[in-house]
Structure 1
Amino acid sequence: MSEPGGLETLYPFLYAGLAEPDETQLRRSTEDKIAEIGTLRRSLAHLHGERLVACAQAMAAAIDGGARLFTFGNGGSSTDAQDIAQTFANPLAGTRPVAAISLAQDVAVLTALSNDVGYDLVFARQLAALGRRGDIAVGLSTSGGSANVLNALAEARRRGMLTVGLVGYDGGTMARDDLADHLFVVPSTSVHRIQEAQITLYHVLWELTALR
């Protein structure tokens, strides 16, 4: 028996005692999820359109001044953070590459800092060593409450860096503590939909920044 809130909450018909899942239900579940993320993504233009433009302008100005881009997150968000860094560092032809690095990509650094100073500081310590005034810090957290992401944004703020946050739910602690100069909240309680929508947000942000 799986724990409450596990797979049965995503695919309840698979746990209804059927020997074989109903293909109609499987198809409907997939179609519902596609419709859900489509609706959510379209809503972001109205919700965050002006903020995306303002953030892109601030990032473009920082990059024109020689800023470097640092990204960070945990789990799936660390993968998205790496995607952001690579998108800015290796853009399409005709756009300028940006010095960008994902702070979750170096296993040696992550394990050393986790062992020596604690996982809550794995990103903040890297920014303390590498970041400088005018650089850009982008933190991703579906909940808005990841301690190491919050600590890194606080460190970036102390160092005079431009801070950008991508979160879900109601923004969590990141929103309440006002840790990001530019905050983008995906209004959803599904981690899957939040991360899918965040991908849309940061790719739009890159386009607005790089193709200005």
Structure 2
Amino acid sequence: MTGPETSEATGFLYPFLEAAERDHDSLLTDLAASARAKAAESAALQRSTLAASAELVETTAAEMARRFARGGRMFAFGNGGSSTDAATLAGLFARPPAGRPLPAWSLTADQAVITALGNDVGFDLVFARQLIARGRDTDIAVAMSTSGSSKDLTVAFAEAKRRGMLTVGFAGYDGGQFAADGAVDACFVVRSQSVHRIQESQALLGYRLWAAVHEHLAELGERQ
């Protein structure tokens, strides 16, 4: 079903779909070309992001490994699509495809807690209140965002910082408040204007961070 509103909503993504009476073969050709262009754009952004973040990945992973070795835990959180990315990252640490499981939780996993806090104290505090209840100074707080400026995330980081937790932020665009805020110890910025490309690169960054944490844990084990 199409109409003026649908055309306006999708035209900027696939302008060739709006042309009248398109030949099927040429349409498929254009669709394939569009998919290849997006894949190439995503791959290029992932390469540049990993290169720009390489040193930060290593220093952050080293500190995370030290905290895990001391009994620390990771709490990950985000909003919307970023909440599912945070849950995926927590699952990677807690239930890895290989290597040692590490204590990690998603703060968006419990609907009862989220809705109770949102209703009783306000949505801006849904993550901060959970960190107040659960966070210790050996723990790690990880927030994933495209804007890097969501109030509930920045409030949670401020609380985590007060508690001595390591704070790790993933953001897009120019990093937003995460990059400017002294409450964020490590901020990984994916410099793109596309939400889709940002989240794709953040997923790869998260995987690289997980792998680097295990590398540093192995080094710590060898020294002991």
Please give the root-mean-square deviation of Cα atoms over the aligned residues, in Å.
1.7
1:96 Cα deviation from its structure 2 partner: 2.1
Q: Deviations over 1:70-125 (max 9, x none)?
A: 000011111111111111111234x2211111001111111111111111111111
Letter in 2 for 1:61: R
Q: Any idea what the Cα deviations from partners look like across 1:167-192, whole Å, max 9, x if unmatched? A: 00000111122331111000000000
Question: How far off its partner does 1:18 sit?
Answer: 4.3
**Within-5 A mapping of 1:111-190:** 111-190=115-194
Counterpart code for 1:49: A
**2:220 corresponding residue in structure 1:** none
1:76 counterpart = 2:81: yes
Kindly report which structure 2 residues correspond to 1:5-44, keeping only aligned pairs within 5 A, or say none: 6-18=9-21, 22-44=27-49
Q: Partner amino acid for 1:52?
A: V
Give the conservation status (yes or no) of the 8 Å contact 2:143–2:153: yes
Q: 1:118 to 1:40 in 2, by over 3 A?
A: same
Alignment match, 1:191: 195
After TM superposition, which residue ranges in structure 1, 4 or more long, deviate above 6 angstroms?
Answer: none
Cα deviation 1:47-80 (Å, max 9, x = unaligned): 0101100000010001011101000001111111
**TM-aligned CA distance change 1:18 to 1:108, over 3 Å:** farther
Q: 1:62 aligns with which of 54, 60, 67?
A: 67
- CA–CA distance in 2 between the matches of 1:10 and 1:164? 32
Q: CA deviation at 1:207?
A: 0.3
Q: Which amino acid is 1:7 matched to?
A: T
Q: 1:11 Cα deviation (Å)?
A: 1.5
Work out whether 1:107 is the aligned partner of 2:111: yes
Q: 1:109 to 1:96 in 2, by over 3 A?
A: same
Amino acid at match of 1:15: E
TM-score normalised to the size of structure 2? 0.89
Comparing 101-110 and 175-184, the one that deviates more: 175-184
Larger radius of gyration: 2
With 144-153 and 17-26 compared, the bigger mean Cα shift is at: 17-26
Q: Which moved more, 1:103-112 or 1:19-28?
A: 19-28
**Gapped runs of 5+ residues in structure 1?**
none
For residue 45 of structure 1, report the CA deviation from its aligned partner: 2.6
| Residue pair 2:172, 2:190 contacting (<8 A) in 1 also | yes
- Equivalenced residues, count: 211
For residue 36 of structure 1, report the CA deviation from its aligned partner: 0.3
